[in-house]
């Protein structure tokens, strides 16, 4: 099988918030594939609920590299950032490791930064919310510098209007709604188009 689009990461890649009748999820990945002319048998989505950057390194990255796809999507890090066991050094190392290995293959790689998830988590104290927001801001600053350094395309979840529209989010506040996944797919397709040919060879 020729894989033209490979996505790795967490529940954002998995498509959570956009359920199918059989209990699986659709999400933005198949919607993006359709928009850029990739058939269902030409993309692989390894995104899994709860995955951290370490999980991607340990359980997804080797499979992704074996596919040698021309286009990779990486959406991971949110679970690291909200964890009580968060280690900034390990988080940064894992992100750099993942993105570097993919770009070394000569593939086009895109990723995202993180919206205000702490603002959506219910039951947090004001001090905890402020601490998490500071953590997310630091992570976004690092991600923005890393993607610029490596030439990775970045979908900006901080400033995009979808982040500020409650209709774009599922009731849990942390995963996009079906409409949110649709809009995200369209915006990533536009990002790819603006950076060159959106259709993987």
Q: What is the CATH number of the domain that holds 66?
A: 3.40.50.1110
Q: Cα 59 to the chain's mean position, in Å?
A: 16
Residue 201 forms part of a structural domain: no
Does pLDDT of 199 surpass 70? no
Q: Let me know if residue 199 belongs to a domain.
A: no
Determine, yes or no, domain membership for 151: yes
Is 201 a residue whose pLDDT tops 60?
Answer: no
Mean pLDDT of 103-121: 90
pTM of the model: 0.93
In a domain, 109, yes or no: yes
More confident residue, 182 or 165: 182
> Average pLDDT in the 123-132 region?
91
Mean pLDDT to the nearest integer, 135-153: 97
Q: Is 188 inside any structural domain?
A: yes
Q: In the chain, pLDDT over 90 holds for what percent of residues?
A: 80
The whole-angstrom separation of Cα 79 and Cα 145 is: 21
- Are residues 71 and 33 in contact, defined by beta-carbon separation less than 8 angstroms? no
The domain of 90 spans 5-126+140-194
Look at residue 46 and tell me if it is in a domain: yes
135 inside domain: no
DSSP the chain: ---SEEEEESHHHHTTTSB-TTS-B--HHHHHHHHTT--GGGEEE---TT--HHHIIIIIHHHHHHHT-SEEEEE--HHHHH-TT--HHHHHHHHHHHHHHHHHTT-EEEEE-----TTT-TT--HHHHHHHHHHHHHHHHHHHHHHHHHT-EEE-TTTSHHHH-GGGB-TTSSSB-HHHHHHHHHHHHHHHHHTS--S--
CA proximity to 153, closest of 199, 90, 93, 196: 196
Do the strands 5-9 and 108-112 form a parallel or antiparallel pair, or are they unpaired?
unpaired
Distances (CA, A) of 180 to 12, 158, 161, 164: 11, 14, 11, 11
Instruction: Tell me how many domains the chain contains.
Output: 1
Q: What residues contact residue 122 under an 8 Å CB cut-off, 6+ apart?
A: 173
Look at residue 174 in the predicted model and tell me its pLDDT: 84
Q: What is the overall mean pLDDT for the chain?
A: 93
Whether pLDDT at 181 is above 80: yes
Q: In which band, very low, low, confident or very high, does the pLDDT at 117 lie, cut at 50, 70 and 90?
A: confident
Q: Beginning with the edge strand found earlier in the chain, give each strand of the sheet holding 153-155 in spatial order.
A: 43-45, 5-9, 71-75, 108-112, 153-155
Percent of the chain with pLDDT over 70: 97
What is the pLDDT confidence band of residue 136, given thresholds at 50, 70 and 90? very high
In a domain, 75, yes or no: yes
Q: What band does 118 get if pLDDT is binned at 50, 70 and 90?
A: confident
Mean pLDDT across 173-192: 93
């Amino acid at each position: 099988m020729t894989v033209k689009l490979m996505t790795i990461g967490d529940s954002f890649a998995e498509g959570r918030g956009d359920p199918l009748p059989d209990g699986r999820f659709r999400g933005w990945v198949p919607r993006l594939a359709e928009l850029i002319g990739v058939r269902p048998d030409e993309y692989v989505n390894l995104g899994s609920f709860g995955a951290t950057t370490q999980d991607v390194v340990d359980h997804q990255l080797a499979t992704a590299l074996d596919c040698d796809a021309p286009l990779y999507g990486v959406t991971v890090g949110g679970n690291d950032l909200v964890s009580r066991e968060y280690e900034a050094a390990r988080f940064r190392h894992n992100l750099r490791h993942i993105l570097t290995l993919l770009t070394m293959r000569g593939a086009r790689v895109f990723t995202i930064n993180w919206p205000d998830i702490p603002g959506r988590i219910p039951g947090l104290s004001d001090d905890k919310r402020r601490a998490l927001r500071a953590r997310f801001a630091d992570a976004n600053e690092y991600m923005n510098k890393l993607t610029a350094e490596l030439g990775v395309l970045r979908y900006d979840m901080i400033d995009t209007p979808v982040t500020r529209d409650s209709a774009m989010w599922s009731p849990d506040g942390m995963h996009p709604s079906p409409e949110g996944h649709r809009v995200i797919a369209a915006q990533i397709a536009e990002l790819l188009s603006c950076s060159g040919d959106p259709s993987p060879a």
